A = this chain, B = another copy of it.
Amino acid sequence: MLKVIAQDFIKAEFIDTVMPLYAELVEKTRQEELCIAYDLFIDQKDPGHFIFVEEWPDRAALDAHCRSEHFVRLVPLINQHQRQDPTFILMDPFAA
């Protein structure tokens, strides 16, 4: 199992622009056969800070997501409004 946190930082004046792009990205990604979870959240202290919490069976599934039509089309449209570079954390479950 692969867990991912992806964080976007959108310029305040473009938040309304990206909202429908995010909505479509979430809807289409959840339809991917290998998608286990793809949930989007907004920082309570920063309305331009968008946080994806994702779950995939493995790295190959994440890579396939990043090659999907909706990802390749929508993410560049979102990214042109970033105020700083997005961040990505790929994580393994904790096992004591």
> Which A residues have a C-beta under 8 Å from some C-beta of B?
3, 5, 19-20, 22-23, 26, 39-45, 49-51, 53, 89-94, 96
Using CB atoms, name the residue of chain B closest to A89.
Answer: B43
Q: Return A79 CB to nearest CB of chain B, in Å.
A: 17
Chain A at the B interface: mostly helix, strand, loop or mixed? Answer: strand
**CA of A41 to CA of B1 in the docked complex: distance in angstroms?**
11
A21 → chain B closest CB, angstroms: 9
Residue in A5, A42, A94 whose Cβ sees the most chain B Cβ within 10 Å: A94
Residue in contact with A42 in the complex, picked from B23, B53, B94, CB distance below 8 Å:
B94
| Minimum distance in angstroms from A88 CB to a CB of chain B | 10
